[in-house]
Structure 1
Amino acid sequence: MTGVLSGFLTIAVVVALGMVLARGRVLDEPGLRTLQSVAFFLASPALLFTVLQDSEVSDLFSGNLLAIVGGVLATLVGTLAVCRVQGRDTGSTVVAAMCSSYCNAGNLGIPIAFYVLGDTALVAPVLLLQLVVLQPLALTILDVTVSPEPLPLANVLTRPLRNPITIASLAGVVVALLEVDVPDLVVDPLELVGGLAVPAMLLAYGASLWLGPLPGRGVALPDLGVAVGLKLLVQPLAAYAVGRALGLGPDALLAITVISALPTAQNVYVIATRYGRAELLARDAIFVSTLGCVPVVTVIVALLA
């Protein structure tokens, strides 16, 4: 479990540095928005392209993917039911759904897959699902939601093709499928810029903790409890159940359960702030689910390894 704890510690240190920058007024509210915009429009697309273009197609499309989809669907159904009862608007419902289903498969999932599961490629299916399906769908709905007037159908359908994150993700998958050898002249600058994505998201997240209300004070506790409970308990249990039904082996069951129990990803907060929907819920869900992920993953490994 050393790798798991090391991954969490690394995240905690960078988040703390963001808080220090905010406390020292190096990052104020306008600076925070700028940092979030750089992460959203430049660094994240570059990172996603470089990650996906190196993926093995056989790793992307596997039985593990079906089990992970089952876990995501379970949390989405639960979130939609709760939000409907609460009468939430569409944009806030989308962010709440991402809080309960969108895994931190990048900066936390990769080290956990390496140290705990022994193979970083095991994260590829959830990356594919999130970057090529869930995120473009969520961004399209949010784009339509924040638009001041109804958008024509053609505009809605082509909206994902004008979002930098979606474009980069799709381009990475196409390159992987076609096995295109991208020149170093193109990949090297993208990797350099993409290296900014995770630190920028973590620094922005830490600054937001200092500049905004303390976690737990800016959002209703039942809302936070539902999001975190779905993320850390329902999603891994549902993924495990689907994996068993599909006849996956012990190693695959361990992999999909651990990956499904990963906490809410930091870029959910970046997206929430970009569209001005459920920002505090996204921020607090990331904070609490990251803390809660440690004992949950520990129990999963103890039971299934």
Structure 2
Amino acid sequence: MHGVLDGFGVIGAVIGVGFLLAHTGVLDAASQQLLARLVFFIATPCLLFTLLLQADLHRVFSPGLLVAFGSVVVAAGVYVALARLIWRRTAAETVIGALCSAYVNAGNLGLPIAVYVIGSGAAIAPILLMQLLVLTPVAFALLDTLTSGRRPVWWRVLAQPARNPITVGCFLGVALALTGWKPPTVVLDPVTMIGEMAVPAALLAYGVSLRLGPRPLTGGSAVELGVVLLLKVVVQPVAAWVLAAGVFGMSGKDLLAAVVVASLPTAQNIFVYATRYERGELLARDSIFVTTIASVPVLLGIAAVLA
């Protein structure tokens, strides 16, 4: 349980620094945009490249991957149906909302929680790689197409991932991991150094937005935000438990890992993506805020029951 609190404590501290810097005037709205662009175009591609370069890709084909994928489909699918049929959101806003409902904070929060609660950081690998190799490229292909203002053409849609820096970083990391070759230190170390600023820069940008933007939980649809919260911290973990225990017969640490991973809050980088495409920024920001708070008792309860 200490791992849950430690992980949230670190994230909250860095967000608080961003809030304080904005409050004292050191950073302004332009700084937030600059940080978001830096994270999106440079730091995150470098971080994902180095993570995937060193990842054990064999874990992608474990039952944990199918559980993670199934829980994401359930949560995101419910949101998409509501967004399009009831709330009449645009297609691009629906993509952001679906990510808010199902894209878990597997990196900067999932890793420490997996180490302290489950006993191994490897437990986070299936959903981390699934999000990087499947969800992220698909979401960016859709967002690039929907926000470009051009009529979708099949060859242009297929080529979109090659023009997105984050998906390029993912695929390059996987390609080199499959070959087993690693770049020389003189090349890899600068890339690693740049990638290490992705998480703190994203958290600082988020903290700035909390201070300079509309107050959290204002300016958006309370009903929609409530549904996202329910999908993220209740529906997705329950779906993971049903799939893991009922379909794949998991138990012990494997079951604990599957449910804990699905219970993680919305990832901070969804706010960066929303800012980059100027779609659903308020929903992304508030979703991160409420799911991060709500997931603390949820994760503590899961750890107490299943551990």
Matched, 1:71 2:71: yes
Measure, in 1, the Cα distance between the counterparts of 2:126 and 2:298: 21
CA contact (8 A) 1:69 1:239 kept: no
Measure, in 2, the Cα distance between the counterparts of 1:156 and 1:280: 27
C-alpha RMSD over aligned residues: 1.0
1:250 aligned to which of 208, 232, 252:
252
CA contact (8 A) 2:53 2:182 kept: no
- 1:212 corresponds to: 213
Gap runs ≥5 in structure 1: none
Deviates more, 1:134-143 or 1:169-178: 169-178
Measure, in 2, the Cα distance between the counterparts of 1:182 and 1:121: 23
Matched, 1:107 2:108: yes
Matches within 5 A, 1:132-151: 132-151=133-152
Measure, in 2, the Cα distance between the counterparts of 1:138 and 1:296: 27
Matches within 5 A, 1:50-199: 50-84=50-84, 85-199=86-200
The TM-score, its normalising length taken from structure 2, stands at 0.97
Measure, in 1, the Cα distance between the counterparts of 2:282 and 2:184: 41
Measure, in 2, the Cα distance between the counterparts of 1:38 and 1:240: 37
- 1:280 corresponds to: 282
Encode CA deviations 1:229-286: one digit per residue, 9 max, x unaligned.
Answer: 1011111110111112112232111001000100000000000010011100000000
Give 1:77 shift: 1.3
Measure, in 2, the Cα distance between the counterparts of 1:27 and 1:136: 31
Superposition misfits of 4+ residues, deviation over 4 angstroms: none
CA contact (8 A) 2:111 2:121 kept: yes
Aligned letter for 1:229?
L
- 1:294 corresponds to: 296
CA contact (8 A) 1:215 1:287 kept: yes
- 2:231 corresponds to: 230
- 1:43 corresponds to: 43
Give 1:149 shift: 2.4
Encode CA deviations 1:9-39: one digit per residue, 9 max, x unaligned.
Answer: 1111110111111112221111211110000
Measure, in 2, the Cα distance between the counterparts of 1:191 and 1:218: 38
Encode CA deviations 1:154-186: one digit per residue, 9 max, x unaligned.
Answer: 111100111010010111112222222332122
Aligned letter for 1:199?
P
Measure, in 2, the Cα distance between the counterparts of 1:56 and 1:50: 12
**CA distance 1:176–1:249, change in 2 (3 Å):** farther
Deviates more, 1:172-181 or 1:272-281: 172-181
Encode CA deviations 1:48-68: one digit per residue, 9 max, x unaligned.
Answer: 011111111222221110111
Aligned letter for 2:151?
P
- 2:8 corresponds to: 8
Encode CA deviations 1:191-221: one digit per residue, 9 max, x unaligned.
Answer: 1001110000000000000111111112111
Deviates more, 1:139-148 or 1:175-184: 175-184
Deviates more, 1:222-231 or 1:21-30: 21-30
**CA distance 1:281–1:172, change in 2 (3 Å):** same
Give the percent of matched residue pairs that are identical in Structure 1 and Structure 2: 47
Measure, in 2, the Cα distance between the counterparts of 1:149 and 1:13: 42
Gap runs ≥5 in structure 2: none
The TM-score, its normalising length taken from structure 1, stands at 0.98
